Chains A and B, each alone.
Chain A
Amino acid sequence: MEENNFVASRDRDDAMAGLLRRNLAGDAGAGNDCPAPEILAAYFENSLDPEETVRYELHFSQCAHCREQLAGLARANEVAATAQETSKQTIGASWLWDWRWLAPAAAVLVFAAIWFARRPVSTRTPEPPLLAMSQPEQSPAQDLRVQVPQPPPPPPAKAAPRAETNTNLVRSEDDLARSANLKDEEKTPASNPALDRRKSEDADALSKAANAPKRDSAARAGNLDSAQNAIVPSATSESVTVESAARTITPSPARASAAAPPAPEPKGAPAVSGGVAGGVSAQSAPLPESAAAKKQKEGTRTLVQQAQVQTMYQSRALAPAADNERSAVIQTPDARILWRIASGGFVERSEDSGATWQGQLPDANAHLVAGSAPGPKICWFVGDDGIILLTRDAKRWQTIRAPLRADFTAVTAQDASSATVTAADGRKFATTNRGKTWTPAP
């Protein structure tokens, strides 16, 4: 009997399931009543009014279309939350390796090591045996034989922190030496006043931080927070910066050879910061300095340079297209038709001499810097990281294989197949078959 009841009950449950599925699967609520994405977003964040929540939940329960959207939104939010969590952990740990407190800490260690090495010998040398008899308090176990004063043993600990610090400095210099395109950027005069202003402000902040005396932890945390807020507005921008920096650090023969000459100082940078390149420029000092102090300053300066470079890339990531890039119009044989580069990977084309512009997105991840339009519908664009784009009908874009993975700063095109590109180090390459082959050009 109980088993029969159980079976009957299970059958009714199965029937219920089928009925529910049939009733609930239809798009009874779908239509013009579907709310806008903003309502879905607000609902997802629990920021709707209670009355709105009830009303929209009723709609959602009847509308598979809205439910599908909510499911997609949930997936995207979950991925975003995971990415944010990972980014926070990275930022949380990264401060440990931040040069802004490492440099002063290293300086303190070096000074401590120097002081330890130079402290008065008398405090460490044992008394000569002549005085032993006048010291009845001595332990009976002490040897009363003549004791030759032993020279102080070389402190092994002294060398370790200095060597460790030097290794870190050498490692930093190597990193800078590899990033030759950073030097190339320095060669190009900065034409963006906003970028220049930001560079000089950042350089001022960095030089102050490098020369600051030892701080207590609270002040250090406060300075870190403000510095982070000044340079890294959000986790997203920092991660974008990492991508840019990672691309530019990729070694290549061209970059290695370009690493040798020191680069000129950026505009507006204070003298104490020196150049960006791996070379260390000497500073004039009013008094002669010890070798250790000199090395410590050089190390600090190198770390300052590295951070300055990073700041510049962060600035560039925040402002990927300088104002002059957008305003630089690319002429075509038809005077009415113009091209220009906008920010965020966009380019714009005008067919009425610039009265109106239509945007296109050839590559959202590209940072374009120059273009050449040999025909009304033909246009070549070049930019960072070996990007070369071509359109032959002013609509569809193709990526042209670059002669090398470098930042390109200029392009001159003759037609849809022939063009000459200029790399950031000044070398030129020409193609006559739309990038299938490239030859060095004079």
Chain B
Amino acid sequence: MTPRPVAAAPPTPAADFRFPRSLAGAVERCWQKTAAPVEWNLAREQFEAALGRSVAHRFSGAPASPEPKAIENYLETLHHEDLALACACSAGSESAWNQFVARFRQDLYRAARAIAGDSSASELADSLYADLYGLRESEGRRKSLFDYFHGRSKLGTWLRAVLAQRHVDAIRRARKLEPLEDEAGRENPEVAASASAGSQSAADPPDPDRPKYLSLVQAALAAALDSLEPRDRLRLAYYYADERTLAEIGGLLGEHEATVSRKLDRARRDLRHRIEEALRNGKKLSEAQIQLCYDYAREEWPFDLTLRLRPASVDPAQARRPGVVSSDD
């Protein structure tokens, strides 16, 4: 699995898009909605160019040129005031920058504390703040991160997303640099445990068909997951891969905790049904063999839900899922 490359530099801004005459009215309406103060010295042409970049970014990779109606609908969804502010800041307007500072600086630092904790927040926010300002000036124009804001979301949400991306990238870089051995030459316990588990199962399989059963059940699961709605799959990923609580998942997906629990349960049942159908009808396995598939999977990849339901006083790190509705069948 190829690790995600670290983003050392921001992507190239999208090329400008030239609006046809049929969209002049839509562009004008967008301009009127900005209500940009005169002090910003933001020219209509500058804003139109920003709109063009936004359209180019949105429809890049589309198989055919977008329809004017689609572009017009897209333009209507943009956050025009925020885009104008970003455009003016990128163009070097002192007044716009002061407005941005007054409106967003405190929120920026608050968001950094929420994302990265108090110890790293200041560094994270300072870095973004500096990039937004544009530390390099050439020919009287700063190179600013504002160039990459296209108005598809509120400016505040975009800033928080950038902070989150930078924080996650920093954590991942740090993970890659963790040594396998500590200074005394002892192996990292987590790495040693996973390695020994793998080597034990590979070195002494109790059943020569074990790998075959594991492979069958994994393939059946992969096919079943592919047939799920992406949102259901995402919900499962949050729960099983990221070990998030029902409340956290609800916050991420805009759902109530009870809804998350119910849908997880339904997805789990659905998957099990599909897996067993595939193994029974597709691979012609008997019930005993299907049970073996599950048994070997449980031994190979243990995932004890009861550990995660343990009260906080016993194991705070594990008690993360109040209200889990286990399947019932």
Instruction: Tell whether A and B belong to one assembly.
Output: yes
Chain A residues proximal to chain B, CB less than 8 Å:
8-28, 30-32, 34, 36-42, 44-48, 54-55, 57-58, 60-62, 64-65, 67-80, 83, 194, 233-234, 236-237, 239-240, 317-321, 323, 326, 342-344, 346, 348, 356-361, 364
- B115 contacts which of A54, A75, A361 (Cβ < 8 Å)? A75
| Inter-chain contact B164/A69, CB cutoff 8 Å | yes
A276–chain B nearest beta-carbon distance, Å? 22
| Inter-chain contact A37/B161, CB cutoff 8 Å | yes
A-contacting residues, B273-327, CB 8 Å: 275, 291, 293-295, 297-298, 300-305, 326-327
- Complex Cα gap A48–B157 (Å): 14
Q: Does B80 sit within 8 A of A, measured CB to CB? A: no
A211–chain B nearest beta-carbon distance, Å? 29
Chain B residues near A343 (CB, 8 Å)?
94, 97-98, 101
Question: Looking at the complex, which of B23-31, B43-51, B176-184, B226-234 is the stretch in contact with chain A?
Answer: B226-234
Interface size class of B (residues with CB under 8 A): 35 or more
Chain B residues near A30 (CB, 8 Å)?
1-4
B197–chain A nearest beta-carbon distance, Å? 12
Question: Looking at the complex, which of B185-193, B201-209, B215-223 is the stretch in contact with chain A?
Answer: B215-223
Chain A residues near B98 (CB, 8 Å)?
318-321, 343-344
Q: Does B262 sit within 8 A of A, measured CB to CB? A: no
| Inter-chain contact A57/B230, CB cutoff 8 Å | yes
| Inter-chain contact B126/A361, CB cutoff 8 Å | yes
Indicate with 1 or 0, residue by residue over B231-250, a CB within 8 angstroms of chain A CB atoms: 10110111011101000100
| Inter-chain contact A65/B4, CB cutoff 8 Å | yes
| Inter-chain contact B248/A64, CB cutoff 8 Å | no
**Which 3 A/B pairs are nearest by Cβ-Cβ distance?**
A72-B164, A41-B153, A37-B161
Closest residue of chain B to A39 (Cβ to Cβ) is B152
Chain A residues near B113 (CB, 8 Å)?
79
Chain B residues near A54 (CB, 8 Å)?
230
- Complex Cα gap A12–B296 (Å): 10
Specify the main secondary structure of chain B where it touches its partner: helix
| Inter-chain contact B138/A318, CB cutoff 8 Å | no
| Inter-chain contact A68/B168, CB cutoff 8 Å | yes
| Inter-chain contact A317/B102, CB cutoff 8 Å | yes
- A24 contacts which of B5, B240, B251, B272 (Cβ < 8 Å)? B240
Chain B residues near A74 (CB, 8 Å)?
248, 251-252
Chain B residues near A14 (CB, 8 Å)?
298, 302-305
| Inter-chain contact A358/B291, CB cutoff 8 Å | no
Chain A residues near B130 (CB, 8 Å)?
346, 359-361
Chain B residues near A321 (CB, 8 Å)?
94, 98
Chain A residues near B259 (CB, 8 Å)?
none
| Inter-chain contact B135/A233, CB cutoff 8 Å | no
- Complex Cα gap A434–B329 (Å): 74
- Complex Cα gap A31–B4 (Å): 5
- Complex Cα gap A364–B54 (Å): 30
Chain A residues near B102 (CB, 8 Å)?
233-234, 236-237, 240, 317-318
| Inter-chain contact A69/B165, CB cutoff 8 Å | yes
Closest residue of chain A to B104 (Cβ to Cβ) is A236
Question: What total count of A-B pairs have CB within 8 Å?
Answer: 275
| Inter-chain contact B297/A18, CB cutoff 8 Å | yes
Q: Does B114 sit within 8 A of A, measured CB to CB? A: yes
| Inter-chain contact B2/A31, CB cutoff 8 Å | yes
B80–chain A nearest beta-carbon distance, Å? 13
Chain B residues near A236 (CB, 8 Å)?
102-107
Chain B residues near A79 (CB, 8 Å)?
110-111, 113-114
| Inter-chain contact B160/A32, CB cutoff 8 Å | no
B320–chain A nearest beta-carbon distance, Å? 13
Q: Does B172 sit within 8 A of A, measured CB to CB? A: yes
| Inter-chain contact B137/A356, CB cutoff 8 Å | yes
Q: Contacts A20-B240, A76-B111 known; A344 to B153 CB distance under 8 Å?
A: no
Closest residue of chain B to A20 (Cβ to Cβ) is B240
- Complex Cα gap A287–B107 (Å): 53
Q: A15-B295, A57-B233, A76-B164 are in contact. List 9 more A-B contacts (CB 8 A).
A: A9-B329, A17-B303, A17-B305, A37-B162, A54-B230, A67-B242, A79-B113, A236-B105, A318-B102
| Inter-chain contact A23/B234, CB cutoff 8 Å | no
Q: Does B254 sit within 8 A of A, measured CB to CB? A: yes
Q: Does B210 sit within 8 A of A, measured CB to CB? A: no
| Inter-chain contact B237/A61, CB cutoff 8 Å | yes
Chain A residues near B115 (CB, 8 Å)?
72-73, 75-76
Closest residue of chain A to B39 (Cβ to Cβ) is A194
| Inter-chain contact B109/A364, CB cutoff 8 Å | yes
| Inter-chain contact B97/A72, CB cutoff 8 Å | no
Chain A residues near B327 (CB, 8 Å)?
9, 13
Q: Does B40 sit within 8 A of A, measured CB to CB? A: no
Closest residue of chain A to B244 (Cβ to Cβ) is A71
B34–chain A nearest beta-carbon distance, Å? 15
Chain A residues near B154 (CB, 8 Å)?
41, 45
- Complex Cα gap A175–B230 (Å): 60
| Inter-chain contact A42/B153, CB cutoff 8 Å | yes
- B268 contacts which of A13, A233, A319 (Cβ < 8 Å)? A13
Closest residue of chain A to B232 (Cβ to Cβ) is A61
| Inter-chain contact A27/B167, CB cutoff 8 Å | no
- Complex Cα gap A239–B103 (Å): 10
Chain B residues near A80 (CB, 8 Å)?
107, 110-111, 156, 160
Q: Does B77 sit within 8 A of A, measured CB to CB? A: yes
Chain A residues near B135 (CB, 8 Å)?
358-360
- Complex Cα gap A37–B125 (Å): 16
Q: Does B129 sit within 8 A of A, measured CB to CB? A: yes
Q: Contacts A20-B240, A343-B101, A344-B105 known; A73 to B153 CB distance under 8 Å?
A: no
| Inter-chain contact B99/A233, CB cutoff 8 Å | yes
| Inter-chain contact A41/B157, CB cutoff 8 Å | yes
- Complex Cα gap A193–B71 (Å): 43
- A20 contacts which of B3, B105, B168, B221 (Cβ < 8 Å)? B221
Q: Contacts A41-B158, A72-B168 known; A19 to B217 CB distance under 8 Å?
A: yes
| Inter-chain contact B152/A75, CB cutoff 8 Å | no
| Inter-chain contact B107/A69, CB cutoff 8 Å | no
- Complex Cα gap A39–B329 (Å): 40
